Chain A
C-alpha cells in the first residue's frame, strides 16, 4: 500500500543520503521523493512515498526518527494532508484536433506552457487520481512524454 511520509530535516550535505540509505539498505524502493527548503532555510521539507505494510512502515519511521538529521517524521494519509503533484505532458497536436485538445485541457485546469509545430506541453497539478485521469484522457492524442514532480504533502490544520 502506498504511504506518504512527511519529514523535516536539517538542510545539510549528507542528510538526504542518510535517509535514502535506510531505504536502500533494506531493499525498500522509493516511489517518489521531493525535497526543498522551507520557511526556515536551515530546514528541508521532504515528502516520500513508499509501498509498505503497517509493520514495515512502523519500523522504518522509528529508524528515520533515530537519525540526528531528521527533526520530525510523520505518516499522513489523504484525509490528514493536502497532497499535490505537478505533471508536464508533451502531447501530439494534429491539425483539426486543436480546439478539442485545449477544451479538454481546460477541464483539468491544465495550462499550455510550450507550443511547437506538432506538439504542446501541458502543465497540470493535482492529486494522484486527477493526474491519472488526465493522462488517460490525453492518451488518444498521442502522448510523447510525461514527467511528474513527485508528490509534495503538507499536513492539514
Chain B
C-alpha cells in the first residue's frame, strides 16, 4: 500500500511508477536511442564529405562553417516547427533537425583533426607512394581520430539532450514523457525521464570514450607523458582556426 501511495501523492521519486510503467519507459528509451543513433550517424555521413570539400577548396571553408553555425543558432523548437510543414509530423523531422545541429560540431572537429596531421607525416606517406585515398584513410583519418572522436562525443551528448525537444511533436523519446508529465504535473514521470536522459548521455559518452581508447592506442602512451597533449593541441588549433 505504501508503494502505491507515492503515485497518488504525486511524489518525485516513486518506485511504483517505475514498476508499473516500465514498458512505457523502455519504449521511450528505445525511441530516444534510435533517434540519437540515426541523427549522429547521418550527421557523420553528411559531415565527412562536407569537411573534405571544405578542406580541398579552402574558399569554401568559411561558407561551410558559417552556414552550419547559422543553423546551430536557430532554437530547436523553431527548427522542428519549421520542418513540420516540409515533412509532416514524423520522426524524420526530429532526426533532420538533430542532423543539422550535429553538423556544426562534427565538421569543425573533422577539419581540426585533419589539419592537425603533421605535414611531414603527409610528405612521408606520399613519398612512400600513397595515393590520395589511401593517404586519407590510412594516415590522415587515424591521426585525426582523437579530434573526431571528441567531436563525436560532444555531438552525441548534445543530441541526446536535444532529442527531448522532439516531445513537442511526439517523437522525442524520453522527451515525450517529460512533455506529458509537465502537462499533467506528474512529478515522478518528469524526474524519472530526466534522470534516464542524463544517464543515457553519460553512458554514451563513456562508451565513445572507450571506443576512442581502443581505436587510438598510441595516444595513451603520449597522454600519460604529455598530459593530454593531443587535446590541448587541437583546442589550440581550433582557436586559431576561429
Our verdict on whether A and B bind, yes or no, reads no
Chain A residues with a Cβ under 8 A of chain B? none
